[in-house]
Amino acid sequence: MEKNHDTVIVLDFGAQYSQLIARRVRELGVYSQIVPFNTSAEEIKKMAPKGIIFSGGPASVSQALSPRPDKEIFNLNIPILGICYGLQVMSLLLGGHVTCPEKKEYGIANINIIKASKLLKDVSNLSQVWMSHGDSVDKIPEGFSTTANTPNCPYTVIEDEKRNFYGVQFHPEVVHSVEGQKMLSNFVLDICKAKADWNMGNFINEAVESIRKEVGDGQVLCGLSGGVDSSVAAVLIHKAIGDKLVCVFVNNGMLRKNEAQNVLDLFGKHFNMRLQYADAEDMFLTALKGKTDPEDKRKTIGKLFVDTFYNEARKCGEITHLAQGTLYPDIVESKSPFGGPTSTIKSHHNVGGLPEDLKWKLLEPLKELFKDEVRELGRELGLPEELVDRHPFPGPGLGVRCIGEVTKERLDTLRDVDAIFIEEIRNAGLYHEIWQALADLLPVKSVGVQGDERTYREVCTLRAVTSQDAMTADWYRLPYDVMQKCASRICNEVKGVNRVLYDITSKPPATIEWE
Ligand code: XMP
């Protein structure tokens, strides 16, 4: 890809925070890309970055097989910032020493600034930082001086201004490091002198160019689910190659109310895309008949989805690429500790388990981005706000929210309940405060009374959670009046339901979805 902006690369030593570092750099308006720790100095030179950040990582430099960068990187005359493990490995390779002290340091610390420093310019003394390390540098390399320390860590910030090498023992990229972004800005903008001219507009231009080059005369197939990631990927690819993109939308009968029509209208009519619609409702519901075990249901849905997808693909002519809305966090989940990011396992998982011997090449134009960056990209591409800001929705759809057996009738009931719940949350202005809101239909009936008559109907539960990443979640304290409105509307408007419960379990011990 022809780059017309400055880049700062993040050399990834297996840290859980590598992507966060890249993202913080992008927040400064400078493009940032993550590359594996063993990328050769030659390759890095070709990328011509304005700066290099060594990420943290779970290893100890004392381990023989711990990840090391190509030593030639230090001769490229490019500024380097080492973070945590990055600082340690840099110190070791440049002649310093790292020890494994008995006292580890995790959590908040305050840095004592002892010397004027380019990296710490305008950072206040005793500024709060986030520490998380076992090893510590106990001898810094020649040419370096210490500019800040903490009671537990004598070499918290070290610098060699002459060579433009910097190291911090803490994690400036996390929010608990209160002035961490200031430090990253000092490194990226002042020390590396990178120009802050990157934005989503540039991203689109470059991605379009790169997609055109990659696809050439080929044809791309994209499974469109109506969710944020696949929608943004499809619109971006469509912008690049127009009718060489074919989208397939599978209606498995477990979609939300009006979902199929909305997707057809938006992508087929508004964006004028080639869109193949597979109405597979009967096939899915027949296969699910009598099944109540959650894993059995999930597997059945996943397999049928892939079969339908492949069937539809046959009707599209010669396909060369399969497009997916894989995001960076998806890749992180499947990468090996030191092997750098690999995308295959999770990407296949995205469409429910594509075969390993997939004959198409993967096209994943969002794989460097985070969810909120994808949302911003979606807005820039003209996708409507209701779509861009949607809560996550699971691949197996309402099938895993219809607890017990999945039937058309129960799905219709659940669709109505879900639509009321989401509408009331939106009406109350709470939709964006909530990570995810969902309704489940339980395999339980209860007695009620309506219009002086006894009823014996199904029970539904409403669940709303807050979360950062869906790994953990807390139940959302939905105001009583909103709960009351939901319960009253659901019992009045949805035929099969006479009782509404609110789920107050966090994750763990529960998961977000019930199945
Ligand atoms: P759990 O229920 O494990 O869910 O707490 C965590 C997040 O993942 C979503 N989820 C899925 N997403 N395919 C998906 O694309 C799936 O099969 C799937 N199952 C759960 C869930 O909605 C929540 O946001």
pTM over 0.85: no
Our answer on whether the CB atom of 326 is closer than 6 Å to any ligand 1 atom is no
102 pLDDT above the threshold of 60: yes
- pLDDT for residue 343: 30
513 pLDDT above the threshold of 90: yes
pLDDT band at 353 (very low <50, low <70, confident <90, very high): low
Which ligand 1 atom minimizes the distance to the CA of 435? Answer: 24
Q: What is the mean pLDDT of residues 249-268?
A: 94
Instruction: Compute the distance between CA of residue 111 and CA of residue 131 in angstroms, rounded to an integer.
Output: 11
The pLDDT > 70 percentage for the chain reads 94
Q: Which residue has the higher pLDDT, 244 or 330?
A: 244
Lowest mean pLDDT among 149-163, 236-250, 359-373: 359-373
Our answer on whether the CB atom of 139 is closer than 6 Å to any ligand 1 atom is no
Q: What is the mean pLDDT of residues 301-319?
A: 90
351 pLDDT above the threshold of 80: no
Atom 14 of ligand 1, residue of closest alpha carbon: 394
Q: 354-401, pLDDT tens digit by residue? A: 667 778 899 999 988 888 889 999 999 999 998 998 999 988 999 999
- pLDDT for residue 242: 97
Helix (H, G, I), strand (E, B) or coil at 359: coil
475 pLDDT above the threshold of 90: yes
Residue 77 exposed, middle or buried by CB count within 10 Å (0-12, 13-18, 19+): exposed
Which of 240, 189, 238, 191 is CA-nearest to residue 212?
240
Helix (H, G, I), strand (E, B) or coil at 326: coil
Q: What is the mean pLDDT of residues 238-266?
A: 95
pLDDT band at 70 (very low <50, low <70, confident <90, very high): very high
Q: Which residue has the higher pLDDT, 339 or 28?
A: 28
Q: 401-442, pLDDT tens digit by residue? A: 999 999 999 999 999 999 999 999 999 999 999 999 999 999
Our answer on whether the CB atom of 391 is closer than 6 Å to any ligand 1 atom is no
Tally of CA atoms within 13 A in the half-sphere of 167 that contains its CB: 31
CB 272 within 8 A of CB 243: no
Which of 10, 101, 81 is CA-nearest to residue 47?
10
* 156 CA to centre of ligand 1 in angstroms: 40
* 394 CA to centre of ligand 1 in angstroms: 5
Residue 362 exposed, middle or buried by CB count within 10 Å (0-12, 13-18, 19+): middle
The catalytic site residues sit at 84, 171, 173
Instruction: Compute the distance between CA of residue 437 and CA of residue 465 in angstroms, rounded to an integer.
Output: 6
Write the secondary structure of 436-487 as one string of H (helix), E (strand) and C (coil): EEEEEEEEEEEEEEECCEEEEEEEEEEEEEECCCCCCEEECCCCHHHHHHHH
pLDDT band at 330 (very low <50, low <70, confident <90, very high): low
Instruction: Compute the distance between CA of residue 394 and CA of residue 436 in angstroms, rounded to an integer.
Output: 11
pLDDT band at 348 (very low <50, low <70, confident <90, very high): very low
Our answer on whether the CB atom of 254 is closer than 6 Å to any ligand 1 atom is no
pLDDT band at 1 (very low <50, low <70, confident <90, very high): very low
Which ligand 1 atom minimizes the distance to the CA of 467? Answer: 24
Instruction: Compute the distance between CA of residue 161 and CA of residue 224 in angstroms, rounded to an integer.
Output: 51
Beta bridge partners of 155: none
- pLDDT for residue 181: 97
Our answer on whether the CB atom of 511 is closer than 6 Å to any ligand 1 atom is yes
Mean pLDDT (the chain) is 91
Helix (H, G, I), strand (E, B) or coil at 405: coil
Q: What is the mean pLDDT of residues 258-268?
A: 93
How far apart are the two ends of the chain, measured CA to CA in Å?
A: 43
Helix (H, G, I), strand (E, B) or coil at 318: coil
- pLDDT for residue 329: 67
Our answer on whether the CB atom of 396 is closer than 6 Å to any ligand 1 atom is yes
Choosing from 324, 513, 514, 515 the residue with most ligand 1 atoms within 8 A of its CB, the one to mutate for a pocket test is 513
Q: DSSP string covering 58-116, please?
A: SS-TTSTT-----GGGGGS---EEEETHHHHHHHHHTT-EEE--SS-EEEEEE-EE-S-
pLDDT band at 139 (very low <50, low <70, confident <90, very high): very high
Which ligand 1 atom minimizes the distance to the CA of 473? Answer: 5
